[in-house]
């Protein structure tokens, strides 16, 4: 009987496929930004790559580096200037002054009001004087409603057009009527690939959304903060806003840039989970990759 020679040949080809580098086995380096806070809410310093874990769709990736993030941040600050914000305007101004003083110079900031419609009060700038002048133009518009969701969409699209990897949207809003006429999932589709959402809601005890517009806004802020690695906080008094913005400035200045490897692929993961090995610490990082929706879903 004649012995077949094909089997050794197939084995040899399989061995070569494993040994030779190729697109299917290539590794790509990715970066993600994260905040790590202790139980008091203070940033945790001096962590290294060994302290972090990164998983994509449940698969652990190799963390190469974890360093202090020093990339400039572009921050779009969106402020409710509807009639519902009238009694809060003075406190909002007082809270923004130290926040802008702390973050400007090194980082670019834009200021937008969204009473009646989103209106840019200050284009992106590092100039503290221009930002201070913009604060002076913050007024509640009598008879107007809020367009927070329109403002988030506009800011998200604008940030995607700008260079840089660290984009932040800060929303300061009341629980007044919302007139944007948008569904929250459509807003989130614009937000997730664009920026980290930091939301502060000036509320009243026992208040709850009573119409669809407010519900869509609340769902957007709640889900958007979680998905993008930010926060959504309800403040019972606008006087607490200054402390919250101060904490946010400190947090942003002490973020980590985490570099890790993943298989080179045109299809990004659906979910990213960043954690630390130490107990009792809170990690804020994007859970959804910042890529266009069509690429993320493969459509």
Asked whether residue 287 carries a pLDDT value surpassing 70, the answer given is yes
Query: How far, rounded to the nearest angstrom, does the alpha carbon of residue 258 sit from its chain's CA centroid?
Result: 15
Asked whether residue 79 carries a pLDDT value surpassing 60, the answer given is yes
Average pLDDT, the chain: 89
Asked whether residue 18 carries a pLDDT value surpassing 60, the answer given is no
Q: Whose CA is closest to 197, among 187, 207, 205?
A: 187
d(CA 201, CA 183): 19
Res 16: pLDDT: 40
For the chain, list the domains and their CATH numbers: 26-69+257-297 (no CATH), 73-253 (3.40.50.410)
Res 241: pLDDT: 98
Alpha helices in 196-271 (DSSP H): 212-228, 241-253
Higher pLDDT, 202 or 211: 202
Asked whether residue 8 carries a pLDDT value surpassing 60, the answer given is no
What are 151-155's contacts with CB under 8 Å, separation 24+? 151/78, 151/112, 151/114, 151/118, 152/78, 152/187, 152/190, 152/191, 152/197, 152/220, 152/224, 153/182, 153/187, 153/190, 153/191, 154/112, 154/118, 155/76, 155/78, 155/110, 155/112, 155/118, 155/194, 155/195
Res 118: pLDDT: 95
- What average pLDDT does the segment 181-199 reach? 97
- What average pLDDT does the segment 224-250 reach? 96
pLDDT band at 19 (very low <50, low <70, confident <90, very high): very low
Res 205: pLDDT: 61
- Beta bridge partners, 131, equal none
Res 12: pLDDT: 45
DSSP secondary structure code for residue 29 in this structure: E
Look up the pTM and report it.
0.88
Asked whether residue 130 carries a pLDDT value surpassing 60, the answer given is yes
Higher pLDDT, 227 or 15: 227
Res 108: pLDDT: 97
pLDDT in tens, 51-70: 999 999 999 999 999 999 99
- Find out whether 63 and 52 touch, Cβ atoms under 8 Å: yes
Asked whether residue 265 carries a pLDDT value surpassing 60, the answer given is yes
Put the strands of the sheet holding 27-37 in their side by side order. 63-68, 256-263, 27-37, 282-284
Asked whether residue 137 carries a pLDDT value surpassing 80, the answer given is yes
Asked whether residue 166 carries a pLDDT value surpassing 80, the answer given is yes
d(CA 171, CA 92): 11
């Amino acid at each position: 009987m004649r012995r077949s020679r094909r089997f050794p040949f197939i084995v040899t080809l399989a061995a070569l496929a494993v040994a030779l580098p190729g697109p299917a086995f290539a590794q790509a380096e990715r970066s993600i930004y994260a905040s790590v806070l202790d139980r008091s809410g203070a940033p945790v310093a001096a962590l290294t790559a060994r302290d972090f874990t990164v998983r994509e769709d449940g698969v652990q990736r190799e963390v190469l580096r974890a360093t202090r993030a020093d990339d400039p941040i572009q921050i779009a600050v969106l402020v409710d200037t509807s009639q519902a914000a009238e009694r809060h305007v003075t406190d909002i101004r007082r809270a923004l002054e130290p926040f802008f003083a702390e973050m400007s110079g090194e980082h670019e900031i834009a200021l937008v009001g969204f009473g009646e419609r989103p209106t840019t009060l200050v284009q992106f700038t590092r100039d503290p004087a221009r930002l201070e002048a913009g604060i002076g133009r913050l007024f509640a518009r009598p008879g107007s409603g809020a367009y927070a969701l329109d403002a988030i969409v506009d800011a998200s699209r604008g940030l995607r057009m700008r260079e840089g990897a660290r984009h932040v949207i800060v929303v300061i809003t009341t629980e007044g009527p919302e007139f944007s006429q948008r569904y929250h999932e459509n807003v989130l589709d614009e937000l997730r690939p664009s920026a980290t959402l930091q939301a502060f809601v000036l509320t009243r005890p026992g208040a709850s959304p009573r119409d669809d517009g407010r519900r869509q806004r609340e769902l957007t802020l709640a889900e958007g903060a979680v998905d993008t690695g930010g926060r959504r906080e309800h403040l019972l008094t606008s006087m607490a806003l200054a402390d919250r913005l101060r904490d946010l400035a400190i947090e942003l200045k002490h973020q980590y840039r985490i570099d890790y490897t993943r298989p080179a692929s045109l299809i990004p993961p659906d979910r990213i989970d960043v954690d630390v090995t130490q107990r009792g610490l809170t990690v804020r990082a994007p859970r959804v990759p910042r890529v266009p929706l069509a690429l993320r879903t493969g459509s």
